[in-house]
């Protein structure tokens, strides 16, 4: 039976902000809409992850009654599957890195070698949304359940000092006014810049900084 995910539920709607299971020439494969520039996107696919395809399709078949569709992988490597009932389900834990080929270059959630915080984030733009609170004193997300939204703050888990230190580090490239940021399955932070219209910016890795605890789901 499909299990509702009790943690931070992804709310990205952009086509380049999610992975998808799609039907390919030789069966189902995973697709990434890769943003090359503001005017160009490329559809990249891989058939190297049949186990992940099965995990996603198991939920899609049970809830949507048809296979295929969008999914996410969060920082705990949990596979999150949004469905037509507007709920998000836990499909399992997946520990293999998704990699795609783009004109002979590898595209993955890992930051390319040499990329520094403040550089343009080349993508993918698949990630889970968080918010640096105004003044760069805390990081938060909205937990949704039963039509209710509850703000969950990092300071509530690890204290205001720890939360502010990470928030300020990320805000160097975001701005003191805060705003949305994303964290992907490779523990890389990225997001919109402080100046609207500029490219997405890389904000660095989570590294050894303390973070929100993983939700209580069965990962065995």
Arithmetic mean of pLDDT, 126-152:
92
Arithmetic mean of pLDDT, 151-157:
97
Strands 188-191 and 179-183: antiparallel
Beta strands in the chain (DSSP E): 3-4, 19-24, 27-37, 40-46, 69-73, 78-82, 88-93, 100-102, 105-107, 128-132, 139-145, 148-153, 179-183, 188-191, 201-205
Arithmetic mean of pLDDT, 53-66:
98
Kindly indicate the confidence band of residue 193, based on its pLDDT and cuts at 50, 70 and 90: confident
User: Is the pLDDT at 115 greater than 90, yes or no?
Assistant: yes
Amino acid 71: pLDDT: 97
Kindly indicate the confidence band of residue 53, based on its pLDDT and cuts at 50, 70 and 90: very high
Q: pLDDT, tens digit, for every residue of 26-41?
A: 899 999 999 888 788 9
User: Is the pLDDT at 14 greater than 90, yes or no?
Assistant: no
Arithmetic mean of pLDDT, 129-136:
95
Q: Looking up tokens 């799609």, which residue turns up?
A: 22
Cβ distance 193 to 200 under 8 Å? yes
Arithmetic mean of pLDDT, 207-214:
97
Burial class (CB in 10 A: 0-12, 13-18, 19+), 23: exposed
Top pLDDT among 3 and 197 is at 3
Amino acid 205: pLDDT: 98
Largest CA-CA distance found in the chain, in angstroms, rounded: 53
Arithmetic mean of pLDDT, 32-59:
94
Arithmetic mean of pLDDT, 76-91:
96
User: Is the pLDDT at 197 greater than 80, yes or no?
Assistant: no
Q: pLDDT, tens digit, for every residue of 165-188?
A: 999 999 998 888 889 999 999 999
Q: Where are the domains of the chain?
A: 3-7+14-107, 128-205
Compute the mean pLDDT over every residue in the chain, rounded to the nearest whole number.
94
| Percent of the residues in the chain that have a pLDDT greater than 90, as a whole number | 80
User: Is the pLDDT at 49 greater than 80, yes or no?
Assistant: yes
| Percent of the residues in the chain that have a pLDDT greater than 70, as a whole number | 100
Amino acid 173: pLDDT: 87
Point out which residues pair with 24 in neighbouring strands.
Answer: 27
Query: Whose CA is closest to 138, among 108, 181, 87, 98?
Result: 181
């Amino acid at each position: 039976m499909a299990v509702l995910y009790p943690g931070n539920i992804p709310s990205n709607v952009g086509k380049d902000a999610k992975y998808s299971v799609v039907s390919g020439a030789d069966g189902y494969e995973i697709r990434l809409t890769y943003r090359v520039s503001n005017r160009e996107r490329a559809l990249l696919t891989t058939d190297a992850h049949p186990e992940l395809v099965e995990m996603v399709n198991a939920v899609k078949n049970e809830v949507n009654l048809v296979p295929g569709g969008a999914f996410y992988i969060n920082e705990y490597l949990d596979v999150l599957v949004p469905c037509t009932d507007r709920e998000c389900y836990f499909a399992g834990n997946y520990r293999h890195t998704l990699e795609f080929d783009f004109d002979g270059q590898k595209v993955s959630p890992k930051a390319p070698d040499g990329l520094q915080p403040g550089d343009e984030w080349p993508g993918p733009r698949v990630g889970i949304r968080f918010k640096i609170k105004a003044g760069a004193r805390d990081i938060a997300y909205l937990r949704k359940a039963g039509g209710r939204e509850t703000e969950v703050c990092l300071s509530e888990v690890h204290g205001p000092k720890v939360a502010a230190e990470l928030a300020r580090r990320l805000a160097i490239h975001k701005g003191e006014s805060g705003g949305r940021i994303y964290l992907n399955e490779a523990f890389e932070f990225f997001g919109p810049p402080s100046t609207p219209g500029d490219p997405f910016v890389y904000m660095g890795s989570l590294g050894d900084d303390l973070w929100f605890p993983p939700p209580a789901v069965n990962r065995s």
